[in-house]
Chain A
Amino acid sequence: MLFSLFRGGVHPDGFKELSANRRISKLPIPGRLYVPLRQHAGTEAIAIVNVGDQVLKGQLIGRAGRGLSAPIHAPTSGEVIAIEPVVAAHPSGYSTKAVIIRTDRRDQVYPQPALVDPFIQDPETLAKKVADYGIVGMGGATFPSAVKLQSAVGYEINTLIINGGECEPYLTADDRLMRERPDTIVTGSRLIQHIIKAKRVAIVIEDNKKYAIAAMRNATEPYRDVDIVVVPTRYPMGSAKQMIQVVTKKEVPAGKLSTELGVLLYNVGTAYATCECLMENKPLVSRIVTVSGGAIKQPQNVEALVGTPLSYLIEHCGGTVEEPARLLMGGPMMGLVMPSADAPLIKGAGGVLALQAHEINQTESSPCIRCGRCVSACPMGLLPLEMANRARSQDFDSASEFGLKDCILCGSCAYVCPSHIPLVHYFQYAKGEISQKNAAQKRTEYTRELSEARRVRQEKEAAAKAAAKAAKSKRRKRSATTTD
């Protein structure tokens, strides 16, 4: 098969062998779980349990918030001992509200309604269940899955792409999942296909995962409309836009949705979680996560409950050989720097990496030599050097004109830059400044609306008062004349 690959991209060292060859092990239940009420794109879930409540595994503890949101369930049985802010799995170091559960280690399951064969149920019912069970995108974006399923309504979906392109170095969670539990992934994929009425399913895997390819081929054997598509290994293959381009040979136009091209993309982990939800009645309360990096003694994949402190995960993997130079959630290219090992594991975390100093780029940056390497590496066809220049001089408008909005923050440009310019950091900064500015503008507009509304209200009130007064004095006058 010939591929029109996406432009640009890089080949970073994989370091996948560190964790790829060990079976997924089940992490013991920690004594306490810190379950954040927001582990998804959108608004925070609203806690519906109180301190002192006994909860069971899979019991709803936070209902979905307003607008885009997802519910949160108890990862195991135990007692709610606090609902308070804990350090968030976020580079800011800010805290986030969490339900803290003292586990009883009995792992008693909350009784869920009886199972019905999902393949005979209608798509709306299934999509609702996916929403109620808190399924979100497991590839990192944590977009509520049900919303994505509903977005397909009204579009003819040709291809459902199941993304098995785990292109970030170190990460092997999806690889192990495909090797060890291929049937669940395939069933999950077919369920999503059933819901969105997709004509075919393409499970896309990079050619460096030969065991996963074999296992998945085996599992898809019985289904004619489910194919395995093997693609070359190149970063960022796993990024949605790039993968769609490789599979459909069509580029998603800027500002357009993939549904308009007749494709929808799900991560293999999400397909797995969807199957667990619809076939086993299991809400999303755990995930497979790669614990790796030079500082970890026994790198491996573990199946862990959300809310588990990262320090507990690391301890279970033999601890660290030395104080890690950097702790990351996600991969080294796009992952988030963790403020502390106390942060809890969340639904979207594919990896926890403890890196040593030699594994991270700490070279001082020097001025740009205009070599153009960042330009040829950029999979979105942008001019990273120009955008970074504009961001540095705080000229965000012209950075936007250079396509900052299209930048997927993949880090390919920074990876190849011989001057070690923190290009992505500049883009993060510029994107942040722009959204802050938009938010401030919205706020000022809102303020204007409010003060205008107040003015109108006050005028009305004054008019009403005057009218009442006039009526009163008239009455008085009349009564005065009659008594006379």
Chain B
Amino acid sequence: MTALSALLVLTLMGLLLGFALGLAAKVFHVETDPLLDEVSALMPGTQCGQCGYAGCNQAAEAMVKGETPVTCCPPGGKTLAATIAGKLGISISLDSMNDELLLARVNPGLCTGCTRCYKACPTDAIVGANKQIHGVIMAACTGCGSCLAACPERCIDMVPESKALDSWHWPKPIAA
């Protein structure tokens, strides 16, 4: 008899608590979007602001909410746009996106070695020292233009990435 009542009480308790938990989950539900985390993790993380947002996380949030197109991140380029579009399950046209990346170049004739661009670069792509001509490591430059704004001598130009034989490939055939 005692065994039976114990069993009954325990079952009842289990049911009640389960119900309470379920209710709590509904009532105190907080909106966290796993999708947002995933998209944030894909972003370049340079906080360069070319998208018009304060940083990569804000941009990711706007993309997830559909407030800005997934093509808004120039350093991420077509690849990032396509990956995020895939994650969000939307279809986009990449044709409007520019394939050509514009990278920074310091004009050695004008550079005074003030180190401001060097400090502004979010990827540490600029090398130099006080009163030394600065240079850009092309492989590390994302073309964000932060240095452009920082340079008091206006000696930085954004130039198309130099064309390498390796980066060329056959275009899509025009055929039936």
A residues at B contact (CB < 8 Å): 38, 88, 90-92, 94, 96, 364-367, 392, 394, 419, 421-422, 425-426, 428-429, 431-433, 435-437, 439-441, 443-444, 446-448, 450-454, 457
| CB proximity of B144 to chain A, nearest CB, Å | 10
| CB proximity of A373 to chain B, nearest CB, Å | 17
Indicate the size class of the contact surface on chain B. Answer: 20 to 34
Q: Tell me which residues from 110 to 137 in chain B have a Cβ below 8 Å from any Cβ of chain A.
A: 122-125
| A436 with B80, Cβ < 8 A, contacts A422-B175, A453-B124 known | no
A450–B140 CA distance with the chains assembled, in angstroms? 8
Partner of A448, one of B45, B164, B165, B168: B45
Interface centre among A367, A392, A421, A454 (most CB of B within 10 A): A454
18 A-B residue pairs with CB within 8 Å: A91-B170, A425-B170, A425-B175, A426-B173, A429-B173, A433-B169, A435-B169, A440-B78, A440-B80, A443-B139, A444-B79, A446-B140, A447-B46, A447-B123, A447-B140, A450-B124, A450-B140, A451-B45
| CB proximity of B92 to chain A, nearest CB, Å | 12
Please tell me if the beta carbons of B76 and A444 are within 8 angstroms of each other in the complex.
yes
Q: Is B29 an interface residue (CB 8 A)?
A: no
Partner of B176, one of A90, A421, A428, A433: A421
| CB proximity of A335 to chain B, nearest CB, Å | 14
A432–B165 CA distance with the chains assembled, in angstroms? 12
A453–B125 CA distance with the chains assembled, in angstroms? 12
Q: Is B77 an interface residue (CB 8 A)?
A: yes
Chain B contacts for A96, CB-based, 8 A: 165
Q: Is B47 an interface residue (CB 8 A)?
A: yes
Q: Which 10 interchain pairs have the tightest Cβ spacing?
A: A432-B169, A440-B79, A92-B168, A428-B170, A450-B123, A425-B173, A365-B175, A447-B44, A451-B46, A422-B173
Main secondary structure, interface of A, reads helix
Please tell me if the beta carbons of A444 and B80 are within 8 angstroms of each other in the complex.
yes
Please tell me if the beta carbons of B44 and A94 are within 8 angstroms of each other in the complex.
no
Beta-carbon nearest neighbor of A440 in chain B: B79
Interface code B136-160, partner A: CB below 8 Å = 1, 0 otherwise? 0001101000000000000000000
Interface centre among B46, B140, B163, B169 (most CB of A within 10 A): B169
Q: Is B171 an interface residue (CB 8 A)?
A: yes
Chain A contacts for B76, CB-based, 8 A: 444
A426–B78 CA distance with the chains assembled, in angstroms? 20
Please tell me if the beta carbons of A444 and B175 are within 8 angstroms of each other in the complex.
no
Please tell me if the beta carbons of A429 and B44 are within 8 angstroms of each other in the complex.
no
Please tell me if the beta carbons of A439 and B176 are within 8 angstroms of each other in the complex.
no
| CB proximity of B57 to chain A, nearest CB, Å | 13
Q: Is B26 an interface residue (CB 8 A)?
A: no
A96–B165 CA distance with the chains assembled, in angstroms? 8
| A454 with B165, Cβ < 8 A, contacts A426-B173, A440-B79 known | no
Seed contacts A431-B169, A444-B77, A451-B46; 6 additional CB < 8 Å A-B pairs: A88-B165, A440-B78, A444-B75, A447-B45, A447-B123, A454-B122
Q: Is B5 an interface residue (CB 8 A)?
A: no
Partner of A432, one of B82, B123, B170: B170
Interface centre among A421, A432, A443 (most CB of B within 10 A): A443
Q: Is B167 an interface residue (CB 8 A)?
A: yes
Please tell me if the beta carbons of B125 and A450 are within 8 angstroms of each other in the complex.
yes
Chain B contacts for A90, CB-based, 8 A: 165, 168
A431–B170 CA distance with the chains assembled, in angstroms? 9
Please tell me if the beta carbons of B176 and A419 are within 8 angstroms of each other in the complex.
yes
Chain A contacts for B75, CB-based, 8 A: 444, 447
Chain B contacts for A432, CB-based, 8 A: 168-170
Beta-carbon nearest neighbor of A394 in chain B: B172
Chain B contacts for A448, CB-based, 8 A: 43-45
Please tell me if the beta carbons of B140 and A94 are within 8 angstroms of each other in the complex.
no
| CB proximity of A367 to chain B, nearest CB, Å | 5
| A437 with B169, Cβ < 8 A, contacts A447-B45, A447-B142 known | no
Chain B contacts for A38, CB-based, 8 A: 165
Interface centre among A426, A447, A457 (most CB of B within 10 A): A447
| CB proximity of A401 to chain B, nearest CB, Å | 16
Beta-carbon nearest neighbor of B46 in chain A: A451
A432–B43 CA distance with the chains assembled, in angstroms? 24
Please tell me if the beta carbons of A421 and B175 are within 8 angstroms of each other in the complex.
yes
Chain A contacts for B44, CB-based, 8 A: 444, 447-448, 451
Partner of B169, one of A436, A441, A454: A436
Beta-carbon nearest neighbor of A391 in chain B: B172
Beta-carbon nearest neighbor of B122 in chain A: A451
A343–B122 CA distance with the chains assembled, in angstroms? 41
